[in-house]
Amino acid sequence: MLSTLKQQVCDANRALETSGLVKLTWGNVSGIDRTSGLWCIKPSGIPYADLTPDHLVVLDLDGNITDHGSQLRPSSDTKTHLHLYQNFPTIGGITHTHSPYATAFAQAGRELPCLGTTHADHFFGTVPLARPLTPEEIEADYELHTGVSIVERFRELNLNPLETPAILLSHHAPFTWGKTPAAGLDNSTALEVCAQMAIHTLALNPSATTIPAHILNKHHSRKHGPDAYYGQKDCAK
């Protein structure tokens, strides 16, 4: 089970680079096995092309490193991932990137509005923006409080993490997630293209309106609802 997970997480990390979503080592993917409560994440600063499943750092849901064979430090964002796994029990994989268009919304301090069906197929409405952290939070534990601010924002807005599997962090960049590591990565791809489309849309029409609720509901339910007819029946998306 764990070796399958490690392979999936390794594959998704390597796909980060070939997808064009990240440059240098600006991103990481993790994945969790909910049965054992064990999860694994990319080590910090390792080039994607060099990554093998054995490089991954395995942790439990208390944040203890349980398998550290390769003696590599986990991603510097590990505590953010941990907090999301602890508080969003339905998610199975998390992806963090600094993809340029999504990061531009984060840097501009703007939520990503749902302007069309591309967005509606992946995110059920606006992708929210988490508040900036306070100096005290950064001093005490920056990465933990990054996770806290994400969960806080989802609770304020009463959002379901699997319906809106993404957030923008002020002055920082996006996090996405999904049922599996691969699904979380797909949501990073979707978020980046939706952000690109939104920037061009707003340039063409600064008062472009968000998609009407009946289209949003239709697109979301045809892909994710109980009577979904997008994709094949046995494809967990």
Size of residue set near a copy of itself by CB under 8 A: 65
**Sole residue written with tokens 């892909």:** 223
**Sole residue written with tokens 């472009």:** 208
**CA–CA separation, 122 and 74 (whole Å):** 29
Asked if 204 interacts with a copy of itself (CB under 8 A), we say yes
Among 7, 36, 66, 107, binds a copy of itself (CB under 8 A): 107
User: What is the secondary structure of 131-156 as a DSSP string?
Assistant: PPPPHHHHHHHHHHHHHHHHHHHHHH
Asked if 9 interacts with a copy of itself (CB under 8 A), we say no
Asked if 43 interacts with a copy of itself (CB under 8 A), we say yes
**CA–CA separation, 67 and 65 (whole Å):** 6
Asked if 208 interacts with a copy of itself (CB under 8 A), we say yes
Asked if 229 interacts with a copy of itself (CB under 8 A), we say yes
Alpha helices in the chain (DSSP H): 2-18, 78-87, 100-108, 117-120, 135-156, 181-204, 213-224
Max distance between CA atoms of the chain, in angstroms, equals 54
Asked if 117 interacts with a copy of itself (CB under 8 A), we say yes
Asked if 28 interacts with a copy of itself (CB under 8 A), we say no
CA-to-CA dists, residue 137 to 161, 172, 180, angstroms: 23, 15, 30
Among 67, 132, 144, 224, binds a copy of itself (CB under 8 A): 132
Rounded to a whole number of angstroms, the CA Rg of the chain reads: 17
Among 214, 226, 227, 236, binds a copy of itself (CB under 8 A): 214
**CA–CA separation, 52 and 49 (whole Å):** 9
**Sole residue written with tokens 């998390």:** 94
For a copy of itself, the closer CB: 2 or 199? 199
Among 67, 142, 152, 162, binds a copy of itself (CB under 8 A): 142
Catalytic residue among 77, 85, 101, 121: 121
**Can 121 be counted among the known catalytic residues?**
yes
Asked if 230 interacts with a copy of itself (CB under 8 A), we say yes
Task: Dig out the tokens for 219 from the structure.
Answer: 């697109």
Residue 112 sits at the vertex; the CA angle it makes with 107 and 115, to the nearest 5 degrees, is 145
How far, rounded to the nearest angstrom, does the alpha carbon of residue 157 sit from its chain's CA centroid? Answer: 18
Q: Which of residues 173-202 bind a copy of itself (CB under 8 A)?
A: 173, 186, 189-190, 193, 196-202
Asked if 95 interacts with a copy of itself (CB under 8 A), we say no
Among 68, 153, 179, 218, binds a copy of itself (CB under 8 A): 218
Catalytic residues: 121, 230
Residues that bind a copy of itself in the complex, under the rule CB under 8 A: 23-26, 43-46, 72-73, 76, 98, 100-101, 103-110, 115-118, 121, 132-133, 135, 138-139, 142, 171-173, 186, 189-190, 193, 196-205, 208-209, 211-212, 214-215, 218, 222, 229-233, 235, 237
